Amino acid sequence: MSQANSLLKQAKQLARSGDMEASKKLAPMLASEVRQGVEKAPAQKGEASLSTLLEAWESGSYTAWTTSLESGNEAGARQSLVAMRAQCASCHAAIERPMIHVVGVR
């Protein structure tokens, strides 16, 4: 998922610059990297369901971000990006892998 982290960092930079078009192009790449990372992750005994966490991310903060991008709502996109980063960090904590660094977005 290091590629996902790199894409999240790019999304942060694009949000700061207000480049909504580039962000729209980046969004499906980020979703694909996150999905691939979850699918490749070995399940640990007693671990939260990664597929459930992925579905929550896809239908939650990721969808809020892409909806804001599509509607041209820069403030909403920035706000959703912060929520998406928080959800990533929460997922990593839920699966007891907080050592997996998720780039900060502010």
Secondary structure E strands in 1-106: none
Residue 100 DSSP code = S
Whether 4 contacts 33, CB under 8 Å: yes
Residue 46 DSSP code = T
Reported as a single tens digit per residue, the pLDDT across 45-81 is 556 678 888 899 999 999 999 999 999 999 999 999 9
93 membership: H or E segment, kind and range: helix 74-94
The pTM of this model reads 0.83
The residue assigned the tokens 């999304």 is 11
Please report, for the chain, the start and end positions of each structural domain, with discontinuous segments joined by +.
2-39+48-94
47/1 Cα distance (integer angstroms): 18
Q: Please list, residue by residue across 31-66, b when 16 or more beta carbons sit within 10 angstroms of its beta carbon and e when fewer do.
A: bebbeebbeeeeeeeeeeebeebbeebeeebbebbb
10/13 Cα distance (integer angstroms): 5
Reported as a single tens digit per residue, the pLDDT across 4-42 is 888 988 998 998 899 999 999 999 999 999 999 888 876
